Amino acid sequence: MNVRESAARNRVRIGSAIALIVLAVVVTIWADLPLADLFTVGFVSRSLQAATPIALAAIGGLYAEKSGVFNIGLEGFMIFGAVNTAAIMWLLSGGSPTQGDLWLAMLASVLLTLLYTVLFAVLLIRYKADQIVAGLAVWFIGLGFGPFMAVRLWGSRNSPGLEGIDTVTIPVLSEIPVLGSILFDTSPLVWLTGILAVAAWIVLYRTRYGYWLQAAGENPEALDTAGINVTRVRYAAVIFSGAMAGLGGAVLLAHAGSFTGTGDTMVNGRGWIGIVAYLFGNYNPLGAAAAALLFGGLDMLQIQFQTVGIELPNRLVNLFPYLAVIIVLTIWGSTRVPSAVGEPYESEE
Amino acid sequence: MLDATVLQRFAIAMAATALALLIGLVVVAASGYDPVQFLRQLIEGSFGDGNATARTLKFTTLFVLTGVSVAIAFRAGVFNIGVQGQFVVGGFATVLSILWLAPFVPAGPIGGVALMLVGTLAAVVAGGAYAAIPGVLKAYGGANEIITTIMLNFIAVGVVGWLVEGPLRGEGNRAPNTERLPESVSLPQIVYDNPDFSVIGLGVALAVVAVVAVVLTRTGFGYDMVTSGHQESAATYSGVDAKRTIVATMTFSGMIAGVAGAVFAIMIQGYYSDPSGIGTYGFDAIAVSLLAANNPLGVIPAGLLFGGLESAGSYIGISSDVPVQLIDGISGLVVLFVAVPELFRMAAQRTSLGGDSR
């Protein structure tokens, strides 16, 4: 993209952002929307929880892509993460899981997803698989395997109610008005996600390893010349991305408390939305997390509409995040993709 | 994979399928079922008797059509993952247009044929238009078509699902379905006496394959499409408008997905139900197309294979307690292995079975 095009695109972006804000204001005044009732503390808190799985998958995906490998299998790895957490929790506890079982199951599930991703990374990097097709395959395998596990264990595509994560209330701090109940009376997984996002940002932009990672995607030859093993960096990034998507699935399950395997399973496009979240966040872990929050908020709008009394069919409100993805992608379009993405790298040794 | 010969591709497809089936059998055994019995049921359920064969051919018809739709786009270097959505929108347009026009058309067989033609045309237009959206967004907005088409799948299923639940539910229907199509709108039963399958439907699918093969190999439009898929810069130098080609390719692909939707609506369902409950033909079509190396003619055997798998799946679902979702997993594995031709080439070299052409 040359300078003129990118300047024109920036004008489109700014223009469309202003147009959207104006539209929102007009709709609010015209429909006399009770904004204060719509944007409640509960809504923000629920949105944060809804954003966590998307943010985790997005951070993983952007690491892989920064290193030069497009991991389009995030959605599939999330399904594996969710169903394995449910299954392990069930088997571990013999039917009545506790909080301890849940945490243990999440950990085991992330490790399992990590193992799957090792296989996936070998196919992508060692055997130069078509990244798009192989990623789609992971999704399809997940769509088959998730319900298969559920039917095998519970005789139905959905699990019975298992165990959801308890909120943690920090004394004193949770007394702070508004912020207190959003930040200090919430799921510990929201905190975990926040910490991981900041850590991912620091590693990517403030450590030597982060620079290697970026170089592996931008200019693998230079990195190779500098004596760093490009392949090894890419392996690490892809395996990390799968583990993060698996964690996203596990967190999704921990917030929901049971596995749903009907339709597109409970993951229901969140992995795909994760990809858009990091594009929207311009490959920045914090930006990706913020974009995930936007999608999480859209996801939770339905409950707000109901409490305020706006009559919109559930099935249509559920489509808001998908519509938002299309609008975001169209206006933001192709962000600057790392230049060596999708190309297998072979050292000249 | 472009430099592989037809024979190599065929070998890779066979090896990928065999390996996927093998892993499936291991999973069956590991889950405590009898793999030998599973294999026997797989064969019985796909081609065991006339009934099974008709069921297989019913699925084959859909897989051939949706597979060709995917192949067109892949051939031109565009990823149309939205065939499922275009299939749903197309089939729904068929049912709506037939239901709206039926009162104005005489009830005889001629009226029925006219309605089916109009219904199919509506599906072609609707499917093409729905596919044109991600085409335009990619060509003029730079939006990644893989993601937009997947989002449009979710949107198609959601909107059509909402319509059949509420505003367009047939009067007095307890289930979320539209009204039934009139009696005259159905394909005659020839050869197989199966209410869900007609040889005419399969004939339509094969005719569409022939048309697509001719368009891709014998017309200027097809040439432009395939060259812009393989060598974008060369195509641009020779004066092909890349953006317009992307939109045209997606539209063409969506039109075929629409035909698949029309066949599904007329031949199989006879009404429209919540699309979250119908088969994922548009997704399996990706496996079909890849197995066929995106060759329109190759889609026929690949469609037959997947038709057999799907048919065996529904048989196994009734006659044994092995979860049918296993079949979905197996088709996912086929896609995974087809994506890695290198794996089989290396394996072939190690075992000195050939593959030295690299």
Taking only the tens place, the pLDDT of each residue in B101-111 is: 988 888 888 89
Task: Report CB contact under 8 Å: B325, A145.
Answer: yes
The region of weakest confidence among A63-72, A165-174, B3-12, B212-221 is: B3-12
| Residue predicted with more confidence, A344 or B68 | B68
Q: Which residue of A has its CA nearest to B141?
A: A330
pLDDT at B17 over 70: yes
Contacts of B20 in chain A (CB under 8 A): none
Cα within 13 Å of Cα(A128), Cβ side: 10
Check CB contact under 8 Å for A319 and B158: yes
B343 close contact with A: CB closer than 8 A: yes
| Chain A residue whose CA is closest to B322 | A152
Q: Measure the CA angle with vertex B164, ends B113 and A143; round to 5°.
A: 100
pLDDT band at B93, cuts 50/70/90?
Answer: very high
User: How far does A248 lie from chain B, in Å, by closest CA?
Assistant: 19
| Predicted complex ipTM | 0.87
Angle between helices B50-75 and B299-319 (to 10 degrees): 130
Q: Helices in A67-98 by DSSP H: which ranges?
A: 74-93
For chain A, the farthest-separated pair of C-alpha atoms sits apart, in whole angstroms, at: 68
Average pLDDT rounded to a whole number, residues B173-188:
84
The number of C-alpha atoms within 13 Å of A211 and in the hemisphere containing its C-beta is: 7
Q: A168-169 and A185-186: which strand pairing?
A: antiparallel
Q: Confirm or reject contact between B330 and chain A (CB < 8 A).
A: yes
By three-state DSSP, how is residue B273 classified? strand
Minimum-distance CB partner of B326 among A128, A148, A326: A148
For the segment B240-265, the average pLDDT, to the nearest whole number, is: 93
Q: B153: nearest CA in chain A? A: A322
Q: What is the C-alpha separation between B142 and A342, in angstroms, rounded?
A: 18
CB pairs under 8 A between A and B: 142
| E strand or H helix that includes residue A321 | helix A320-332
Compare all CA atoms of chain B with the CA of A129 and give the residue at the minimum distance. Answer: B340
**CB–CB of B170/B179 below 8 Å?**
yes
pLDDT above 70 as % of chain A: 95
Q: Is the pLDDT of residue A310 over 90?
A: no
Interface subset of B 270-289, CB within 8 angstroms of A? 276, 280, 283, 286-287
Residue range A283-288: mean pLDDT, rounded: 93
CA distance A173 to chain B (A): 40
Q: What confidence category does residue B4 fall into, taking pLDDT thresholds of 50, 70 and 90?
A: low
Question: Is the Cβ pair A151, B323 closer than 8 Å?
Answer: yes
The angle, 0 to 180 degrees and rounded to 10, between the axes of the packed helices B50-75 and B199-218 is: 20
What pLDDT score was predicted for residue A282?
Answer: 84
Q: pLDDT per residue over B201-221, tens digit each? A: 999 999 999 999 999 988 888
pLDDT confidence band for B358 (50 / 70 / 90): very low
Helix (H) or strand (E) holding B258: helix B242-263
More confident residue, B201 or A172: B201
* C-beta neighbour count of B121 within 10 angstroms: 16
Q: Give yes or no for residue A306 having a pLDDT over 50.
A: yes
Residue B2 has pLDDT above 50, yes or no: no
Rounded to a whole number of angstroms, the distance from the CA of A91 to the nearest CA of chain B is 15
Average pLDDT over residues A95-112: 94
- % of chain A at pLDDT higher than 90: 55
CA–CA distance, B288 with B291 (Å, rounded to integer): 5
Which residues of chain B lie closer than 8 angstroms to A72, CB-CB? 146
* B152 contacts on A by Cβ (under 8 Å): 322, 326
pLDDT at A61: 96
Query: Which residue in B has a C-alpha nearest to residue A268's C-alpha?
Result: B154
DSSP B266: I
A140 vs B154, B166, B328: nearest CB: B328
Q: Hey, which residues 55-84 in chain B have their CB within 8 Å of chain A? A: 79, 81
pLDDT band of residue A6 (cuts 50, 70, 90) is low
User: Is B340 in contact with A142 (Cβ distance < 8 A)?
Assistant: no
Q: In the structure, what pLDDT confidence band is assigned to residue B234 with cuts at 50, 70 and 90?
A: confident
Q: Which residue has the tokens 């169903």?
A: A83
Q: Residue B355 has what pLDDT?
A: 47
- Which residue type, as a one-letter code, is found at position B338? V
Cβ <8 Å between B332 and A330: no
Give contacts of A73 with chain B, Cβ < 8 Å. none
- Contact at 8 Å (CB) between A244 and A27? no
| pLDDT of the residue at B1 | 43
Q: Across chain B, what does the average pLDDT equal?
A: 88
Looking at residue A192, its pLDDT comes to 95
3-state secondary structure of B152: helix
DSSP annotation string for A104-127: HHHHHHHHHHHHHHHHHHIIIIIS
Is B111 at the interface with chain A, CB within 8 A?
Answer: no
* B247 has pLDDT over 90: yes
**Closest Cα of chain A to B313: distance in Å?**
12
Write the CB contacts of B128 (distance below 8 Å, at least 6 apart in sequence). B251, B252, B254, B255, B258
Q: How far, in Å, are A59, A60, A159, A161, B308 from residue A247 at the CA level?
A: 11, 10, 19, 20, 37
CB A121 within 8 A of CB A238: yes
Q: B207 or B142: which carries more pLDDT confidence?
A: B207
CB A63 within 8 A of CB A202: no
Distance, in Å, from the CA atom of A104 to the CA atom of A93, rounded to the nearest integer, reads 11
pLDDT at B356: 46
Q: Is the backbone of residue A341 left (phi > 0), alpha (psi -120 to 50) or beta?
A: beta
Minimum-distance CB partner of B148 among A141, A269, A326: A326
Confidence of residue B301 (pLDDT cuts 50, 70, 90): very high
Question: Tokens 């311009």 map to which residue?
Answer: A282
- The CA–CA distances, whole Å, from A4 to A1, A7, A9, A10, A11 equal 8, 5, 9, 10, 11
Q: Nearest-CA distance from A331 to chain B in Å?
A: 7
For chain B, positions 146-185, list CB contacts with chain A under 8 A: 146-148, 150-152, 154-155, 158-159, 161-162, 165-166
Residue among B79, B161, B336 minimizing CB distance to A315: B161
Average pLDDT over residues A144-150: 93
Identify the closest residue of chain A to B31 by CA–CA distance: A152
Residues 6+ apart with CB under 8 A from B292: B13, B67, B71, B298, B299, B300, B301, B302
Tell me the C-alpha distance between B246 and B96, whole Å: 29
Using only the alpha carbons of chain B, give its radius of gyration: 21
Per CB-CB distance under 8 Å, the chain A contacts of B141 are: 329-331, 333
Is A316–B283 a contact, with Cβ atoms under 8 angstroms apart?
no
Q: Which residues contact B218 (CB under 8 A, 6 or more apart)?
A: none
Give the integer Cα–Cα distance in Å for B320 and B342. Answer: 37
CA A302 to chain centre: 20
What tens digit of pLDDT does each residue of A124-139 get?
Answer: 999 989 888 899 999 9
Instruction: Please give the distance of CA A265 from its chain centroid, rounded to a whole number.
Output: 15
Token pair in block for residue A70: 């497009």
Residue A61 gets the label, from left (phi > 0), alpha (psi -120 to 50) or beta, of alpha
Minimal C-alpha gap between A324 and chain B (Å): 10
Structure token digits, residue B16: 């990928």
- Which pLDDT value is given to residue A334? 62
Rounded distance between C-alpha atoms, residue A318 and residue B324, angstroms: 28
Q: How far apart are CA A222 and CA A230, in angstroms?
A: 10
For range B273-299, the mean pLDDT: 89
Query: What number is the average pLDDT over the span B166-176?
Result: 82
- Burial environment of residue B26 by CB neighbours within 10 A (0 to 12, 13 to 18, 19 or more): exposed
State the smallest CA–CA distance between residue A335 and chain B in angstroms. 9
Task: Tell whether the model's pLDDT for residue A12 goes beyond 80.
Answer: no
Identify which of B326, B321, B310, B357 has the alpha carbon closest to the alpha carbon of residue B66: B310
pTM of the model: 0.90
A215-253 per-residue burial string, b: 16 or more CB within 10 A, e: under 16: bbbbbbeebbeeebebbebbbbbbbbbbbbbbbbbbbbb
Q: What average pLDDT does the structure give for chain A?
A: 88
Interval A20-29: pLDDT, tens: 778 877 877 7
